Each structure stands twice: as C-alpha cells, then as structure tokens.
C-alpha cells in the first residue's frame, strides 16, 4: 500500500516535471501551453475569488437534484419491471432501447420543452442516470436467489417485510453497481450540457475559458472536474462497494 | 401420546416431459410431539416433496396434512424448515441472521438480541456473533441455521438433508449437538436424509420410502440409548436391515432411470 503511494507520488512529480520542462523549452507560447505553476495559480485565484466555488456548488446542486430524482424514478420503474411481467415486456424493451441513446441527445428536446433554464439541464441529468438504475434494480431483484425468498417466507416474512428485509438487501450488490454507472453517466451528461447550454456551472467555466483564450483556466477546470469524478467514483462508491464485498465475501481482497 | 402432526393419504403428481409422474402415493404418517422422525429413500423418491408439503411450501396435492387439528396449506412459523442450502443471509451478521425470524414475529429489540445470543450460545458460536456468513466454515453455517431455527421456537423442525455437504468429522459433531439440543428443547423433528447410518443415529423412528411412486415401505423403531454415535455397535446392527431394504429400492430406481433413458 505504501509502496503504491510512493510510486504514484513519484509518477506525478515526474509528469509535472516533464510538463514544466516542455514549457521551459518554449515550443508553444504560454497562452497555448501554460506551465503547471500557472494552472495551479489559476486554481488558487479561482477558489479565493470564489468563482470556482460557486461553479462547483451549482454543478453539484444540479447533479444532486437530477440524480436524486433518477434514483426515485429508476428504483420505482425497476421494481415495477421485476414485479409485473407486462411492464417488463413493454417498458423493459423501451428502457433497453433508450439506454443506448447518449443522454446529451435529450438536450435539444429538453430545451424545446422547458426553455433555456435549470429544468432543461436537470432533465438531461435525469435521463443520464435513469436507465442504468432501472435496469440494475430490475435485474438485481430478478436474480435474487430463490433460497433467500424461501427462507424468508419460512421465517414469517410476508409481502412488504419480505421485500424490504430480504429481496432489496439481496439485490443490493446489483443495485449499487447500477447507481455507480448511473452516477458517471449523469455526471458526464451534466458536463456536456453545461458546455453546450451556457448557464453557470463547471462546464460553463470551461466555455468561458475557451472564449477568453484562457488555456490556464480550461486546464484548471478540467482538473477540478476530474478530481470531483475521482472523489465520488473511488471514494464514495468505492467505500460502499468495498463494504458490500466484505459482507458478502465477494472478493478475496479489500 | 397423541399424534400431533398427521399426514393423511397424501398423493402428489408431477407432470414432466415423460408424462405424469406419481411423486407420492397414499402417504400416511402419525408424528408424535417431541418425536425425532427420519425419512430415508433413494433419490427422487419424493422425500423432499413430502417435507415441502408438511412445511406448506407445496400446496397442490391430494389428501391432507393436519397439525394441531388444523389443515396445513401455507407456511407458518410453527413448522420451520432447515433447507439443504440453508439460505443464511449474507448481508446480515451471524446474530442478525438468528434474530431475523424474531424480527418478523415483531419481538422487540432487547429481547430479540437476548434470545438470539442464547441460541448462539447453545450451538457454541457466541464468539462469532458479529462475523459475516461467508467467513464461517460449513459446519459453523449449519450451526447458525440451527440456532436461527430454534430461536423461533417452532413446534416442528423440518430438516432436508442438512448435513450432506459436510465432512465426516463435522457431521459427527453436529449429530451430537443436534441430539443435545433436541433433548433440551423437546421439539418434534422430521429429518430427511439418504444416509441410513445418520438416520439410525438420530431418529426414534426411521421410515424407508420407495420411489416411483413414492410410498412408505417400512417403518423401523429405533430403541437405542442416547446420545448415540454413528459408529456405535447398536447403530450398526440397526443399519443393516434398513440398508437391505433401501438397496433394493435404490437398485429399482436405477433400473427405472435406465429404462426411461432407453425409451427416449
């Protein structure tokens, strides 16, 4: 573990060194290829004059609302699909079809429906996560081992208790992986949406950077977006997944 | 003693690819309170089906099953099954697994935990109460399943070849523990197995079933002192006549399977 950290620190130091070296060789002008120090400076200024903080806050708020609604609707649809054959055969095929559609393709439709406002972008975020969560919930519930249901019934679990205390926990590993996939789709579509439809947020900062020819800001915002992705993906979902793996004994490591 | 559980003329058909199959025919059983009944038979003789009918997991059949004067047509916490695959919940710790049935019965928390710990103590697993299921050995899982079943205080315990997958030493230990718990609690146990020695070691009564159709062939009463061990001379003496009955049945069912294959 410690060896791994040392390797990573050395790797990133070398990477920044190489970057600085290329800048020092003055192949490209600084406004095309800024130095790491300059980018770092932009990050500091961005945070100290709070433009970055506001942008992060707005993007996170959008994803929280959109992703939250996605979980509610996706969970509900998934449960319906797993419970009722007709829903599965009809809605299920539609969900499968729509899942292949990149969710940013919903933006023109959302703009026409809702206009240039917050609701349009949240709609795109919802569509980004919705189908992953629906399919994962559905297949998680369908693949619960019958022995758990038999055992639960045998011990007196009925309808709601059986569902809440046996079926949902048994389907949890699948549901969590669906939530994780849904999150990354939602985050990607939010960034794409903010880039195209300029109205605050991190994606907007990227566009502003481009328009002002401020390469340093573009790189700084890209780094922040990547860091947020890593934070949620590896730390939040990583923790939840590790916890489930540990309980279920799904992996020898962890 | 009056019969507490009465299986009255139960028959059950399965419709499969090769037409109708009579899984059970005219099964009649009287099981007394506190009795340890073992059912042996060749594979496919319908012993698991019979157990499922008594448990209430199987509802379509002819005849009737009466428990405490009431007809059985659904599962109930008075008749608990220990399945061959156990069905312990991997998302719960050992103690929460044992508590599960009590939670379903709406027993409040402090008492739930207290009862669960008592039964975990009974199977000597108190130390592992916070472990997860996958961390336990096969024998320990069996003991958790036993504790989980006994904690619910059922009147009848139905066990479907629970020790089949275990090594011989672990199985011997579990035979001891099961006999001990049974004597302490006085539950009625119906134990299905294909191992005759196990049946003689555990049961007050051993029933040999024949296959296709599944019928009760012979009933043996086992009057040996307890605790019994599988290698006891008395156990071995009882095993021989039962094994003789059974091997005839096994041979018969082999021949039937062979014929069935030839027909295809």
Label residue B1 by pLDDT band (50, 70, 90): very low
- Residue partners of B53: CB distance under 8 A and separation at least 6: B7, B10, B12, B24, B61, B65, B72
CB atoms under 10 Å from CB of A115, counted, come to 10
ipTM of the assembly?
0.85
| Cα of B243 to nearest chain A Cα, Å | 32
- pLDDT cut 90: percent of chain B above it: 35
CB atoms under 10 Å from CB of B130, counted, come to 9
| Cα of A104 to nearest chain B Cα, Å | 37
- Residue partners of A254: CB distance under 8 A and separation at least 6: A242, A245, A246
- A184-188, B96-100, B249-253, B256-260: which range is least confident on average? B256-260
A 140-199 residues inside an 8 A Cβ radius of B: 147-148, 150-157, 161, 165-166, 169-170, 172
Indicate the pTM of the whole model.
0.84
The pair of structure tokens assigned to B35 is: 């009795």
Separation between Cα atoms, residue B68 and residue B30, nearest integer Å: 12
- Across the interface, whether the CB atoms of A151 and B83 are under 8 A apart is answered yes
Strand (E) or helix (H) holding A224: helix A215-230
CATH class of A34-248: mainly alpha
CB atoms under 10 Å from CB of B89, counted, come to 20
Q: What is the mean pLDDT of each run of 10 residues along chain A (254 residues)?
A: 89 93 88 90 93 94 96 96 92 89 90 90 94 95 93 89 94 94 93 85 92 92 94 91 87 50
Separation between Cα atoms, residue A51 and residue A205, nearest integer Å: 9
Domain segments of chain B as ranges = 3-78+155-263, 87-153
Per-residue confidence (pLDDT) for residue B262, from 0 to 100: 54
Q: Measured between CB atoms, which of A147, A161, A172 is closest to B87?
A: A147
| Cα of B204 to nearest chain A Cα, Å | 26
Identify the CATH assignment for B3-78+155-263 out of 2.40.160.20, 3.40.50.300, 3.40.1190.20, 3.90.1640.30.
Answer: 3.40.50.300
Say yes or no: A100 contacts chain B, CB-CB below 8 A: no
Check whether B264 has a pLDDT greater than 50: no
B131-142 confidence digits (pLDDT tens): 999 999 988 999
């Amino acid at each position: 573990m410690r060896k791994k950290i040392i390797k990573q620190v050395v790797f990133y130091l070398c990477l920044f060194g190489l970057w600085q070296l290329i800048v020092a060789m003055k192949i490209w002008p600084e406004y095309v290829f800024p130095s790491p120090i300059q980018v770092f400076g932009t990050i500091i200024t961005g945070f100290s004059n709070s433009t970055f903080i506001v942008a992060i806050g707005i993007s996170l708020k959008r994803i929280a609302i959109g992703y939250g609604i996605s979980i509610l609707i996706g969970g509900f649809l998934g449960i319906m699909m797993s419970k009722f054959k007709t829903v599965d055969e009809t809605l299920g095929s539609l969900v499968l079809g729509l899942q292949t559609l990149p969710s940013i393709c919903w933006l023109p439709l959302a703009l026409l429906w809702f206009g240039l406002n917050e609701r349009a972008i949240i709609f795109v975020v919802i569509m980004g996560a919705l189908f992953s969560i629906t399919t994962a919930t559905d297949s998680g519930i369908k693949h619960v081992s019958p022995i758990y249901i038999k055992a639960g019934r045998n011990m007196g679990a009925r309808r709601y208790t059986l569902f809440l205390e046996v079926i949902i926990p048994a389907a949890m590993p699948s549901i969590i992986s669906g939530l994780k996939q849904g999150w990354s789709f939602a985050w990607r579509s939010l960034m794409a949406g903010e880039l195209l439809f300029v109205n605050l947020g991190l994606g907007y900062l990227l566009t502003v950077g481009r328009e002002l020819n401020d390469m340093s800001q573009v790189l700084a915002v890209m780094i922040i977006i990547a860091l947020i992705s890593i934070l949620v993906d590896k730390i939040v979902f990583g923790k939840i997944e590790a916890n489930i793996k540990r309980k279920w004994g799904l992996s020898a490591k962890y | 003693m009056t019969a507490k559980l009465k299986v009255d003329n139960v028959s059950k058909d399965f419709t499969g690819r090769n037409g109708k199959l009579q899984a059970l025919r005219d099964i009649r059983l009287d099981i007394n309170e506190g009795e340890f009944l073992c059912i042996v038979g060749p594979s496919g003789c319908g012993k698991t089906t019979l157990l499922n009918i008594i448990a209430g997991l199987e509802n379509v059949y002819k005849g009737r099953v009466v428990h405490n004067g009431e007809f059985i047509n659904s599962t109930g916490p008075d008749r608990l099954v220990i399945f061959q695959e156990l069905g312990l919940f991997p998302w719960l710790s050992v103690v929460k697994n044992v508590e599960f049935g009590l939670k379903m019965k709406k027993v409040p928390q402090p008492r739930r935990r207290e009862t669960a710990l008592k039964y975990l103590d009974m199977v000597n697993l108190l130390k592992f109460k916070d472990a997860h299921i996958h961390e336990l050995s096969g024998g320990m899982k069996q003991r958790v399943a036993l504790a989980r079943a006994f904690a619910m205080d059922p009147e009848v315990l139905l066990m479907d070849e629970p020790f089949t997958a275990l090594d011989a030493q672990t199985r011997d230990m579990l035979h001891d523990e099961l006999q001990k718990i049974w004597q302490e609690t006085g539950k009625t146990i119906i134990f299905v197995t294909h191992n005759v020695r196990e049946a003689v070691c555990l049961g007050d009564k051993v029933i040999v079933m024949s296959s296709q159709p599944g019928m009760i062939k012979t009933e043996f009463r086992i009057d040996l002192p307890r605790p019994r061990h599988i290698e006891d001379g008395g156990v071995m003496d009882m095993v021989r006549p039962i094994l003789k009955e059974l091997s005839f049945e096994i041979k018969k069912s082999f021949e039937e399977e062979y014929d069935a294959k030839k027909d295809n």
